[in-house]
Amino acid sequence: MAKKKNKTKITKGEALLYTAAIFSFVIMLGLKIFCGASIGEMKMSIEEKKYKIDTQEKTNESLTMKVNELTSFENVKKVVEEMGLAYNNDNIIVVDSGR
C-alpha cells in the first residue's frame, strides 16, 4: 500500500500576512538605517559647533588679556611720555567724602 502525501497549501490570507510581515520588516530596517545616519550626522554637527565655540572662547580670552595688557598703568604712562606729556603725582587730588 502506497502512502499518500498530504500537501499543505498556503491560503490567500496566509500569503497576504506573510507578504505584509516581510514588507514591514524591510520598511523597519530601512527606517532604522535612515534614522541612524541622521543621528550620526547630527552628532558630527554638534561636535563641530562645540569645537568652533571652544576656539572662539580661546580667542576671546586672548584678546581680553591683550586689552588688559594695553590698558595697564605702565603702558599708559609709557605712551603718555612718548607723546611728550609728563606724569605729575603732585597734581593728583584724593577726594574723601568724610563719612
pLDDT score at 24: 97
The stretch 78-95 carries a mean pLDDT of 78
Q: For residue range 42-60, list pLDDT tens digits in order.
A: 999 999 999 999 999 999 9
Q: For residue range 11-42, list pLDDT tens digits in order.
A: 899 999 999 999 999 999 999 999 999 999 99
pLDDT score at 1: 57
DSSP 44-77: HHHHHHHHHHHHHHHHHHHHHHHHHHHTSHHHHH
Q: CA-to-CA distance for 82 and 64, rounded, in angstroms?
A: 25
Model confidence at 6, in pLDDT bands (50, 70, 90)? confident
